[in-house]
Amino acid sequence: MSVTCVRVPVPVSHSEAVHAEFESPISAARARELLSAFPGIEVVDDPNASVYPMPHTSAGVDEVQVGRIREDLSHERGLSFWLSCDNLRKGAALNALQIMDEVVTRSRLPGAATRA
């Protein structure tokens, strides 16, 4: 995976260009299907209508917006996509809570079984 975070002068949010390589080939259509079903992700992907993740559309939203999903021409098992998210919500407070929820759910909190 190769990721570039793009910070531009906007009040809230940031975006990233992501290039991911998989064990097996995956189509952009299948990736859209899988990502659409994943909690916390909103697929916003209609470049022909100029609809894709942008900082101003992700501000104030908990979900990470993912779009411009396409097969990576430089790698036969690769995908490229663009994402945008509210860095104050997903990048800070909400993300910290979601990580803690996952830690507790997976019983990964050291000493949790002995605490009352």
Strand partners, 83: 16, 66
The confidence score (pLDDT) of residue 113 equals: 55
At 21, give phi and psi (nearest 5°): -115, 135
One digit per residue, the tens of pLDDT, for the chain of length 116 reads: 777 777 777 888 888 899 999 999 999 999 999 999 998 899 999 989 999 999 999 999 889 999 999 999 889 999 999 999 888 877 666 767 777 788 888 887 766 554 44
pLDDT at position 116 is 45
Write down the pLDDT at residue 112: 56
* Domain topology for 2-86: Dihydrodipicolinate Reductase; domain 2 (3.30.360)
Structural domain boundaries in the chain: 2-86
Chain centroid to CA 25: 20
Quote the pTM value. Answer: 0.76
Query: Tokens for 68?
Result: 């411009």
Distance CA 76, CA 10 (A): 35
